[in-house]
A and B are shown apart, each in its own frame.
Chain A
């Protein structure tokens, strides 16, 4: 348990988490206007399709898989008890990982070559895409080279992550991992750390509430009955700003 391990697997995750919480709160409160991903489909639509669709569906499944193994490791281990089911899980996860990779490469190529898209590309966008690319390549490497990830993740890494959340970090397992896996873990913490300062924030405003609202929205500046009613006290409808 040397110092660099403590820094990378205890210090970094806590710093990342802190940055994530403080950064997103600060961005939402002070730069609420920018809490979205700056879409460039308007400037270029066709090649975007071949990047964004495989990337998003791929990363949703892959990230969801990681989350599942983190949250319910025992259920994943039980599922993997049967070799056939393990194979199905691994192959599915790997193909979605490949889809993420293909999409990400297409997106990066589009960002670098299309002159119109370059106009709405920031250095942070490029940095993030390269970081994600490295993370996906590492992930696929780990999946190929260190079988069977879904099982050892659930068995070894899930307890490590839980120990972080319980404020009782136990890094014995993670310190013994091979280098590519360690890099993949560090990459994940880096992504969490820079999350609030990138276009990734659009993940936090995913419009799931759309499913629960009526289609049409009508708004009165104030409650239209209340403001006409002399019995309503002024303080109730008094504007905050004036």
Chain B
């Protein structure tokens, strides 16, 4: 047993309103630089949709992540020692700027400096790469809220899991549903980027599991861009270095939450410590596809277990980190309550950011009302037109989950490598908490029904109360539980901060301009 600590995040997707505040907070701090304009270390996608970069989930195109060979071992799909070095002169599966979008700004100065004329001056878009006028054809969230569905949502790679009829049903106007998927680097346990880097510039920090790229060691071979199945390693065309989400480690070390989490309007993000067993990483990543999520859950260890604590201490994990792990909101969501799932576990990188799948688009089935049922309903709360009913009733227990408006197979393709039972388990738990709270506050659900629901989902009343608290009431310090900074491990003690004084953003010690 080799216990290490990892800072992990949970996204409660039911609470995400798709406002992109996280993306903007991140952009303002880290990627508002030349060459990084197109990079969104944090981005929010509408699902179904093709995402950013276009169709990043389709590994037939981008060859990211790991695959399990017939010999039972895992190999990088598009990089690695053999493939990576053979393709070092030209990386065949690497996305180019057109797969993301050409960054642009507007020629605002023209609005004030244009000479007098017959027409109103305009601010034309200009490319941030070439500086020439351009037509804006693509952006990082071009498919927001299902806009351009024929081009984007219908080409979602996850649609492959659905039959043609199911696919069409998703896009009937009255059934259409979508949800938001905020994405940052997953700070994986078996990161493809680290494994693919020929220079050895990328590493995982032992203390907190943050995956970083050493800008001085990076030699622009760009294999990490290919190898990351989430496309969260970005090549800076101006400095010739790859960059990625750093989980705001300078903020974390100073006790602040990452910018994306701190700015989250919907309060969907939870950060906490997980203890994991590093000895089992390889076996877990090589598990059969159907066992991946289960095995992944197994290497997250119980922070109250004596053996785990002893092994952690032997590894130099400080007491405060263990204490934070015992208080961790992410451990509760992921392990204790079984509410969260990793994004695309089939990429086998063992991502450490987890998602509580969204219940709302699933259960919000719109039915033709029959008169009898309509009479029983509160007209304000439940009916939004005379003929259609937005059904959030709890009359049929799991009916709405099983006959979901957002097909479970679609969610399963995103969060559980196709296993719908894992998704429906989590959705049922979300529903059970709602039924429990309804019993408690509204009182129109019988106690017998409430206990049956909790029993069927394996929750206790305390657990349901805990889920309700963390979901709806949690204060900042309940959602953000990391150990206090250990000064002796903080970056400031290794690098003299005066060296980077005067440099904004990424903190280059010398101007990141090229010229050689």
Contact digits for B217-260, partner A, Cβ 8 Å, 1 yes 0 no: 01111100000000000010111110000000000000000000
Most chain B beta carbons < 10 A, residue from A44, A45, A198: A45
Give how many A-B residue pairs fall within 8 Å (CB-CB). Answer: 161
Hey, which chain B residues are within 8 Å of A241, CB to CB?
A: 494-496, 499
| A225–B281 CA distance with the chains assembled, in angstroms | 21
Q: Which B65-116 residues have a C-beta within 8 angstroms of A?
A: 76, 80-81, 84-85, 88-92, 94, 96-97
B132 touches A213 (CB 8 A): no
Chain A, Cβ-Cβ closest to B318: A228
Hey, which chain A residues are within 8 Å of B76, CB to CB?
A: 215
Interface residues of B, count at CB 8 A:
64
Q: Which A222-242 residues have a C-beta within 8 angstroms of B?
A: 222, 224-225, 227-228, 239, 241-242
A207 touches B94 (CB 8 A): no
Hey, which chain B residues are within 8 Å of A31, CB to CB?
A: 510, 516
A224 touches B315 (CB 8 A): yes
A35 touches B219 (CB 8 A): yes
| A213–B84 CA distance with the chains assembled, in angstroms | 14
Looking at the complex, which one of A39, A201, A207, A219 makes contact with B205 (CB distance below 8 Å)? A219
A242 touches B496 (CB 8 A): yes
For residue B54, CB closer than 8 A to chain A, the reply is no
Hey, which chain A residues are within 8 Å of B493, CB to CB?
A: 239, 242
Hey, which chain A residues are within 8 Å of B488, CB to CB?
A: 222, 227
| Size band of the interface chain A makes with B | 35 or more
A216 touches B316 (CB 8 A): no
Chain B, Cβ-Cβ closest to A122: B515
Hey, which chain A residues are within 8 Å of B85, CB to CB?
A: 207, 210-211
Hey, which chain B residues are within 8 Å of A202, CB to CB?
A: 219-220
B90 touches A217 (CB 8 A): no
B94 touches A33 (CB 8 A): no
Looking at the complex, which one of B89, B96, B197, B278 makes contact with A56 (CB distance below 8 Å)? B89
Chain A, Cβ-Cβ closest to B515: A122
Contact digits for A110-126, partner B, Cβ 8 Å, 1 yes 0 no: 00000110111010100
For residue A53, CB closer than 8 A to chain B, the reply is yes
B89 touches A216 (CB 8 A): no
**Nearest Cβ on chain B to A233's Cβ, whole angstroms:** 14
**Nearest Cβ on chain B to A135's Cβ, whole angstroms:** 19
For residue B342, CB closer than 8 A to chain A, the reply is no
List residues of B whose CB falls within 8 A of some A CB. Answer: 4, 76, 80-81, 84-85, 88-92, 94, 96-97, 129-132, 190-191, 194-195, 197-200, 202-207, 215-216, 218-222, 235, 237-241, 278, 281, 315-316, 318, 488-489, 491, 493-496, 499, 508, 510, 512, 514-516
What are 12 contact pairs spanning A and B, CB under 8 A? A31-B510, A33-B241, A39-B221, A42-B97, A120-B514, A199-B516, A207-B221, A210-B200, A217-B194, A220-B206, A221-B494, A222-B489
